[in-house]
C-alpha cells in the first residue's frame, strides 16, 4: 500500500507560517506598547516630582520667574502625559488587533491539523483493514492447503 500523503500539506505549512508571522507581529506590538507605557510612567513620575517641588505654596519669599517657569513646565508635562496616554491607548488597540489576528491564524492552522489527523486516522484504519484482510486470505489458503494434504493420505 502506498504511504500516507496529505494533499493539503502545503496549505497547512502556509497557515503555520502565517501563524508564526502573527506571533512576531504581536511580540513587536507588545514591545512597542510596553515602551510607550514606560514613557508615560516616566512623564508621570517627572510631573509628580516637579509638582511636589513647585506646585505647593511654601511660606516665605517666592521667586515669580521660577514659579512661572515651573508652572509652564508642569503644564507642558501634563499635556505630554495626555498625548502619551493617547499613544498608549493606540498601542493597546494595536496589541488587541494583533492578538485577534493571531487567534484567527491559530484557528486556521488547527483546522488543517485536525483535518490531517482525521485523514491519517482513516488511512491507518484502511491500511489495517486491508492488512487484516490479506492475513485472513493467507491464513485461509494455508488452512485449505493443510486440510487438502490431510485428505490425500
CATH number at residue 137: 1.10.287.1700
* Predicted pLDDT of residue 49: 87
Domain containing residue 98: 9-152
* Predicted pLDDT of residue 137: 79
Q: Would you say residue 1 lies in a domain?
A: no
Q: Would you say residue 3 lies in a domain?
A: no
Q: How many residues are there in the chain? A: 153
* Predicted pLDDT of residue 153: 45
Q: Would you say residue 4 lies in a domain?
A: no
* Predicted pLDDT of residue 89: 96
Q: Are 141 and 40 in contact (CB under 8 A)?
A: no
Q: Would you say residue 119 lies in a domain?
A: yes
* Predicted pLDDT of residue 58: 63
* Predicted pLDDT of residue 65: 83
Q: Would you say residue 2 lies in a domain?
A: no
Query: Is the whole model's pTM more than 0.85, yes or no?
Result: no
Q: Would you say residue 13 lies in a domain?
A: yes
Binned average pLDDT, 10 residues per bin, the chain of 153 residues: 81 93 96 96 91 70 78 91 96 96 94 92 90 80 60 48
Phi, psi angle pair for 5, to nearest 5°: -135, 115
* Predicted pLDDT of residue 43: 94
Q: How many domains does the chain have?
A: 1
Q: Would you say residue 83 lies in a domain?
A: yes
CA angle 33, 17, 115 (to 5 degrees): 120
* Predicted pLDDT of residue 144: 64
Amino acid at each position: 500500500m502506498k504511504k500516507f500523503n496529505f494533499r493539503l500539506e502545503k496549505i497547512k505549512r502556509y497557515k503555520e507560517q502565517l501563524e508564526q508571522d502573527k506571533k512576531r507581529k504581536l511580540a513587536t506590538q507588545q514591545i512597542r506598547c510596553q515602551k510607550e507605557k514606560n514613557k508615560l510612567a516616566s512623564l508621570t513620575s517627572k510631573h509628580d516630582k516637579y509638582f511636589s517641588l513647585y506646585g505647593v505654596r511654601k511660606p516665605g519669599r517666592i521667586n515669580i520667574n521660577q514659579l512661572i517657569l515651573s508652572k509652564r513646565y508642569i503644564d507642558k508635562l501634563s499635556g505630554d502625559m495626555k498625548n502619551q496616554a493617547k499613544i498608549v491607548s493606540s498601542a493597546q488597540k494595536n496589541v488587541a488587533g494583533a492578538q485577534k489576528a493571531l487567534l484567527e491564524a491559530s484557528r486556521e492552522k488547527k483546522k488543517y491539523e485536525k483535518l490531517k489527523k482525521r485523514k491519517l486516522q482513516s488511512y491507518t484504519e484502511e491500511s489495517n483493514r486491508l492488512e487484516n484482510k490479506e492475513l485472513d486470505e493467507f491464513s485461509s489458503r494455508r488452512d485449505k492447503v493443510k486440510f487438502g494434504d490431510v485428505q490425500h493420505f
